[in-house]
A and B are shown apart, each in its own frame.
Chain A
């Protein structure tokens, strides 16, 4: 007999079977944690957000009707939770942090140029400050596209928005980042 399907485990978990829910957490924790870390930056925030995602899922198991795959349903909960965290962070962020450090833009400009191999920025803080400039919806759309490779339709489904919204969010996010890289690279070259 093969392993039980996610949907069967979810049904058992909804009936109070904690072992079934633990198995669901075991199966899906790596993807949920990776999404939270890519979206929120720090590992501690990501761990908290991933835990909250599973708690919300546990509380909502009674509403899981099996019409979509459990993984899709859970992913949507994770995406919504990450969006809530990003929005709260964006409200808390002080105006002073809105000013992009020249060094961050220059580092991005250099990393995007073909003079260097395409690899992640060394300083995680730099990437975080650059991404924090984007509004939460733009940042999340970009994260889903770049880290999970989701199609625009899948992003629209995960974020419960239209295809046109996904296109606009990605376009604006990328334009802002390229503009920062271009501006500060130009400053550096002067």
Chain B
């Protein structure tokens, strides 16, 4: 195996992720190549140098953590009433509102589908050009 090829496989070799044949080839090269041998040694130390070992779990710290999480879970939770309201009341309210809007808007909207004079006739206000009473102003 060539030097450059071995260099790309050093990490996998150190991690024990190579198959037997490749591992043997890398091992043989690293034993005779000072650069690859030194890099393999550095790779083995890298984790210990960059990462501190995790401290053993302290049961009191864990309990305090559990309490913090559960406090947030409680604050985050949707109550059964809110769930009911969100699922049934809100759509019901929206439906009722839509019905109300339709009841108020649609009869007058229908009129706009007719020619203007026909609308006035329908309103009982006579044909064009009399616009009297179309725009009523409250006294």
A55 touches B39 (CB 8 A): no
Which residues of A have CB within 8 Å of B65? 25, 29, 33, 47, 50-51
How many residues belonging to A are interface residues under a CB distance threshold of 8 Å? 44
A131 touches B39 (CB 8 A): no
B72: interface (CB < 8 Å): yes
**Which of A115-145 touch B at CB < 8 Å?**
118-121, 124, 127, 130-131, 143, 145
Which residues of A have CB within 8 Å of B63? 26
A83: interface (CB < 8 Å): no
Inter-chain CA distance A58–B69, complex, in Å, is 10
Tell me the nearest residue of chain A to B72, going by C-beta: A55
A12: interface (CB < 8 Å): no
Interface residue from A51, A174, A181 paired with B11 (Cβ < 8 Å):
A174
A152: interface (CB < 8 Å): yes
Known: A30-B62, A58-B76, A171-B11. A118 touches B54 (CB 8 A): no
Interface residue from A18, A29, A167 paired with B73 (Cβ < 8 Å):
A18
B69 touches A111 (CB 8 A): no
Q: Say whether chain B's binding surface is mostly helix, strand, loop, or mixed.
A: helix
B51 touches A127 (CB 8 A): yes
**Which of B16-68 touch A at CB < 8 Å?**
17, 39, 41-54, 57, 62-63, 65-66, 68
A131 touches B49 (CB 8 A): no
B17 touches A146 (CB 8 A): no
Interface residue from B15, B44, B49, B69 paired with A25 (Cβ < 8 Å):
B69
B48 touches A55 (CB 8 A): no
Besides A21-B73, A120-B50, 8 other A-B contacts (C-beta < 8 A) = A22-B66, A25-B65, A26-B66, A33-B57, A37-B54, A120-B53, A167-B12, A177-B50
Can you give 14 A-B contacts (C-beta < 8 A)?
Answer: A22-B69, A22-B70, A25-B66, A30-B62, A33-B57, A33-B65, A55-B69, A58-B73, A114-B41, A131-B50, A152-B12, A167-B12, A174-B46, A178-B39
